Amino acid sequence: MITDNLTTCVYFSSILPEKCPVLNAHIIETLQKRGIPYVHLSGTKDIWCRDFMPIQIEEDRFVFYKYTPDYLQDKIGLRLQTNPMEVFQTESNQLQPIQKNSFSLDLVLDGGNVVKCGDKIVMTDKVFVENKDKSNVEVQRMLEEAFRCEVVFIPWDSQGEPYGHSDGIIHYLGDKRVLMTNYADFDKTFANDYLRILEKHFDVITLKYNVKRKHERSWSYINFLQVGHLVLVPQLGILEDEQALEQISAVMPACEVVGIPALEAVRRGGALNCISWNIKA
């Protein structure tokens, strides 16, 4: 499984510099200083590359899927649905080798709902809701066949998080460890359910913030971008910023952890993992 610590380059939407100019400038400066290759992809219709680009399982295996989520079914949403095949045609020189080594999964899926965790993948069970034409057993079988591993399902908090993305809940740390966001600050029932399920498979570390009033956007720290040994953590200009950097640095001692001003993206509903697509080239 190609987890984040094995990735070597990162892609962003060509729209990102327009929509999030400060965020884009800080990310590019950080990557350039460390010699990490990056590309801004043409043909994208929004900034959330993670959601529509294929999922790399092995060096020569990429899983494509149907990116037609329920939250993009109105007039505006339909205009924002990026067809990854159109991106690949536009960026043929960059992406042609990937398209040759692809697997097409006949399921509605978001890349943001796929967190690769060593020999497992963690997803919310929203994937069952979006594929009601198939039984849950059949959906699970198709996912595990495509990803060649066990899939661990956690409940979808449809009221608190309409997108159903697992990358807003956990991030894989390596060595069968996952970092979980401070979900208990907002919904203790779901937080306990996540812990109960995840602890059957991983050692779970939870982010916690020592502040009088928990900020509603503090969920976004878990949505950091890791490329190899570089970790870019969202910064929001709030008290939790420094505490998030300290905790993530402590659980990832082999990595360089850098804060990136990310409010431009977080206000739109996502953070640094959401706007990126990192792979092992």
Give 80's pLDDT tier (boundaries 50, 70, 90): confident
Q: Does the structure show a pLDDT above 70 at 35?
A: yes
Average pLDDT of the chain, as a whole number: 93
**Mean pLDDT, range 130-156, rounded to an integer:** 97
pLDDT for 81-107, tens place per residue? 888 888 877 765 566 666 666 888 999
Q: How far apart are CA 163 and CA 279, in angstroms?
A: 23
pLDDT for 202-231, tens place per residue? 999 999 999 988 898 999 999 999 999 999
Q: How far apart are CA 239 and CA 21, in angstroms?
A: 23
- At residue 59, the pLDDT reads 86
**Mean pLDDT, range 130-150, rounded to an integer:** 96
Tokens of 78: 């339909």
Q: Which of 187, 171, 158, 178 is nearest to 220 (CA)?
A: 171
Q: How far apart are CA 144 and CA 105, in angstroms?
A: 11
What DSSP string runs through 131-152?
TTTS-HHHHHHHHHHHHTSEEE
- At residue 38, the pLDDT reads 95
All structural domains of the chain, each given as residue ranges with its CATH number in brackets, are: 4-279 (3.75.10.10)
pLDDT for 9-24, tens place per residue? 999 999 999 999 999 9
**Mean pLDDT, range 114-127, rounded to an integer:** 97
Residues in the chain: 281
What DSSP string runs through 87-148?
HHHHTHHHHHHHHHTEEEEEEE--GGG-EEETTEEEEETHHHHTTTTS-HHHHHHHHHHHHT
> pTM for the full model?
0.92
